[in-house]
Chains A and B, each alone.
Chain A
Amino acid sequence: MAVPGPIPWDVPAVSRRAADHRESEFARLFEEYSAPIYNYVLRMVGDPDRAADITQDTFIKAYRKLDTVTEASSTRSWLYRIATNTAIDDMRRRRMVSPMGDDAPTYANRPDDRPGPEAQVMAATLDERVQRALLQLRPNHRQCLLLSDLDDMSAHQIGEVMGLSYAAVRTLLCRARGEMRRALAAEGFAR
């Protein structure tokens, strides 16, 4: 029996048009959302390289599932949901591999030979201190807070991304804000 190889075939005209539409739609999505998704994931995991990998995986998955998106209004939530799940999976894997390698977030792990915590707090950039505070939050608190404050999503939109009810998002977001308030205070932010 011959082992069949790739079958040469011509794409029918209708299918070609559909394929062209799919490509252009995906290109538009990538253009519009690659930077916001990257920054959202970056703040979730605190590591630029991991954020790039997760963003890459997010868009590959999105491409494969592009046909499942039905409403234009939900495209953004759909993309963020994929990104969130991909980031969670990555964090779970990292948590499990911690004894074998460098799992902790880059920000938290960065070696620092300065004299003490206070000097360290004062010397770090604002950005680094906020990132450190974010990484102190539980993952679902961090997601919720970032979706609200970094990506300016409403409770309804956050609910679409996280698969939670409107009421659950409001409760979660409030808890996240309380936790973040304490984490920021530990980083030397007043109030």
Chain B
Amino acid sequence: MTMNRHEPFEELISASLSGDLTDAERQRLDAHLDACAECRGTLAAFADQRRIVAGLRHLAPPRDLGARVRTGIEGGRAGALPWWRRPAAIFAGVGGGLAVVAGALLALVLLNGSPDDPQIGAETPSPTATFAVPSPSPSEPSAPTLPPIVAPTAEASPGESAEPPPSVEPTPTPVGSPEPDVFLALTGPLDNAELSVRDGSDVETALTDAETPAGEPIAAELSPDGEWLAYVTSLGLSGMNEVRATRIAGGEGPAIGATYVLGQSIAGGPFLEHLFWSGDGRQLAFTVADPEGGGTDVWIFEPDAERSWQLTDVGNAYAGSWVAGRPGSEALWVSMAGERPVSYLLSVDANDEAINPADSEFPAAENAFQPIVSPNGAFVIYWTGSMERAGDEWEFTEAGMPWLAENGGDGDGGYEFEQARPLYSDVTIDREAFNSAAIAWGPDSDAYAVWDAAWTGPPQSTIEDYPVENRVYFGHATDPRGLTRVHAIDAGDLPADAYVVDVKVSPTGRHLVITAGRPRPGDLSPPLADLFLITRNTGDLADEVEVIRSGDDGWYGPAAFIGHPRIESP
């Protein structure tokens, strides 16, 4: 790029109009203007333009502006923290170690006092007050590790134990209600349904109404502090989704029920419709496929600042999960899709200009896509393979496979994925493998669920179709067998015509709450959705299935659990 000889003086001319010149600059400019007709023309043009803008008509604001502001302020004062969402006072202001001890004691009491399989509708303790998960940094020696890999043996019959074998030391699991803490529900007549956020207790209570979208909610994540519910809804038959956040609890700040539209995106696959809250609940990362053809990029919502902003501007970026750090300094995995995907750890700062993840200060994770770190930071599930653009998003077209690894620090602010192994241990990865799948960790950081798995290769079982998109696979990181065919929930757990919309693993790591949609044949009416609680059984015992809410009159779900309470730093 070349600079014309007038350019330095144009900046001085511009600055002179607002009195931003030093004496030396003024003298230099004056001397140049005496000899340069072109710059005198620029000065005249800039001065004219400044006069024109300054002379723009000043309009009076609307008369009711003051009243509107007052109404907004008064609305924000409402909303004391509801009793069920109050943080446990015992944890507040206490060091992490003490909080962990207190949590363990509470968990013990509740273990003794509650049945293994609490009945739906039975009075259950508030999860927020009953457990605390230790949050070891990945480098701590006490962090759980992956067991040695055990190669799958001859194809087992259905019904084989899907639980980790007894030799595997289980990860301590917190205790909580198997019910969803909250869930979304479209209520009222289907042609005029309203969206509400509901408490998952026996007596269904509408916590707040959200602004009703044009379509059904398909994904939801509760912020770790339980104050915000972020969710994705479809926008009718438009082929678009909308990302929203609704305040459902909390004191200061926006009123309960305040809903923010964070962005609209082309509807897509599981890589696109994944929401990631930071551990401190201060930021939500999500991916948007630009309807104007700009590709996929990562956006950030900051509830405290009541704003969302675009983090990346590269057209092939996807949000991954956050990596624990000090509150306010967590790093975010951002992946760039491509023939060979690459993931970058980013420090997220609110800048006006969107960034290129490749400029990250941390080393890149080559051939790793959308890392999803377990809540305690010990494990990570990420994708490898070769990707291609498919319409407005990206998917794996060659050797696509999720991998499980220990998530270790390299001691220098970076990461290391150690002991990596394919998540599915009994499928053969060839050119054709997985296009994509949805994956969610349980709050216990051991259990995980996989669904919506788009397998393009030949069937991997002679007994049944496997892997299949409409089954949910439920595994544990500490299970040396990895994920296999027998880890699918029973085929009869969900209605034959249902499709899996969303899955949440309960805090106990034993249950799944599944939102299952059912299309209504014959017309374009919105589908129905039920919430199911699945208790995965071992051996020849069939899974236990209970319907939490039936969607005969509408759409219930997705559900959301509180993962683990925030432990205040001393």
Interface, chain A (partner B; CB < 8 A): 1, 3-4, 6-7, 30, 34-35, 38-39, 42-43, 48, 52, 55-57, 59-61, 63-64, 85-86, 88-89, 92-93, 95-100, 126-127, 130-131, 134, 140, 145-146, 148-150, 152-156, 162-163, 170-171, 173-174, 177-178, 180-181, 184, 189, 191
Interface Cβ pair total, 8 Å cutoff: 146
Query: Interface residues of B, CB < 8 Å — how many?
Result: 56
Please give, as numbers and ranges, the residues of chain B lying within 8 Å of A92 by CB-CB distance.
263, 308-310
CB within 8 Å of A: which of B50-66? 50, 52-54, 56-62, 65-66
CB–CB B18/A127 < 8 A: no
CB–CB B66/A34 < 8 A: yes
Instruction: Judge whether B11 is part of the interface by a CB distance below 8 angstroms.
Output: yes
Q: How far is the CA of A107 from the CA of B144 in the complex (A)?
A: 60
CB–CB B306/A61 < 8 A: yes
Q: How far is the CA of A78 from the CA of B240 in the complex (A)?
A: 36
Closest to A149 in B: B53
Of the A-B pairs whose beta carbons lie under 8 Å apart in the complex, a sample of 19, sorted by A's number, is: A6-B80, A35-B60, A39-B56, A39-B59, A52-B61, A52-B65, A57-B72, A88-B352, A89-B307, A89-B308, A96-B290, A145-B53, A146-B53, A154-B18, A154-B20, A156-B20, A170-B14, A173-B14, A173-B15
Interface digits, B485-529 against A, CB 8 Å rule (1 contact, 0 not)? 000000000000000000000000000000000000000000000
In the complex where A6-B80, A93-B261 touch, is A177 in contact with B52 (Cβ < 8 A)?
A: no
Binding stretch for chain A, among B40-48, B441-449, B460-468: B40-48
Q: Which 8 A-B pairs have the closest CB atoms?
A: A149-B53, A38-B61, A174-B14, A60-B72, A174-B11, A155-B20, A59-B69, A99-B291
Nearest chain A CB to B200's CB is how many angstroms away? 16
Nearest chain B CB to A157's CB is how many angstroms away? 9
Q: How far is the CA of A39 from the CA of B264 in the complex (A)?
A: 28
Q: How far is the CA of A36 from the CA of B288 in the complex (A)?
A: 34
Please give, as numbers and ranges, the residues of chain A lying within 8 Å of B41 by CB-CB distance.
191
CB–CB B253/A181 < 8 A: no
In the complex where A38-B65, A63-B69, A181-B49 touch, is A170 in contact with B20 (Cβ < 8 A)?
A: yes
Please give, as numbers and ranges, the residues of chain B lying within 8 Å of A34 by CB-CB distance.
61, 65-66
Main secondary structure of the interface of B (DSSP, over half): mixed
Identify the interface centre among B14, B52, B82, B307: most chain A CB within 10 Å of its CB.
B14
Nearest chain A CB to B364's CB is how many angstroms away? 28
Nearest chain A CB to B32's CB is how many angstroms away? 15
In the complex where A52-B62, A177-B46, A191-B44 touch, is A96 in contact with B69 (Cβ < 8 A)?
A: no
Q: Which single member of B57, B80, B238, B265 contacts A127 (CB below 8 Å)? A: B57
Please give, as numbers and ranges, the residues of chain A lying within 8 Å of B261 by CB-CB distance.
93
Q: How far is the CA of A178 from the CA of B19 in the complex (A)?
A: 18
Instruction: Judge whether B211 is part of the interface by a CB distance below 8 angstroms.
Output: no
Please give, as numbers and ranges, the residues of chain A lying within 8 Å of B306 by CB-CB distance.
61
Please give, as numbers and ranges, the residues of chain A lying within 8 Å of B20 by CB-CB distance.
154-156, 170
Instruction: Judge whether B431 is part of the interface by a CB distance below 8 angstroms.
Output: no
Instruction: Judge whether B76 is part of the interface by a CB distance below 8 angstroms.
Output: yes
Instruction: Judge whether B73 is part of the interface by a CB distance below 8 angstroms.
Output: yes
Q: How far is the CA of A156 from the CA of B20 in the complex (A)?
A: 9
CB within 8 Å of A: which of B295-315? 305-310
CB–CB B264/A100 < 8 A: yes
CB–CB A96/B56 < 8 A: no
Q: How far is the CA of A89 from the CA of B290 in the complex (A)?
A: 16
Please give, as numbers and ranges, the residues of chain B lying within 8 Å of A153 by CB-CB distance.
18
Nearest chain A CB to B214's CB is how many angstroms away? 9
Closest to B308 in A: A89
Nearest chain B CB to A113's CB is how many angstroms away? 25
Please give, as numbers and ranges, the residues of chain A lying within 8 Å of B235 by CB-CB distance.
100
Q: How far is the CA of A39 from the CA of B352 in the complex (A)?
A: 22
CB–CB B253/A64 < 8 A: yes
Identify the interface centre among A34, A56, A152: most chain B CB within 10 Å of its CB.
A56
Closest to B265 in A: A96
Interface digits, B13-45 against A, CB 8 Å rule (1 contact, 0 not)? 111011110000000000000000000010011
Identify the interface centre among B10, B19, B57: most chain A CB within 10 Å of its CB.
B57
Please give, as numbers and ranges, the residues of chain B lying within 8 Å of A89 by CB-CB distance.
307-309
Please give, as numbers and ranges, the residues of chain A lying within 8 Å of B240 by CB-CB distance.
99-100
Identify the interface centre among A52, A140, A149, A189: most chain B CB within 10 Å of its CB.
A149
Q: How far is the CA of A33 from the CA of B80 in the complex (A)?
A: 32
Q: How far is the CA of A156 from the CA of B15 in the complex (A)?
A: 11
Nearest chain A CB to B334's CB is how many angstroms away? 18
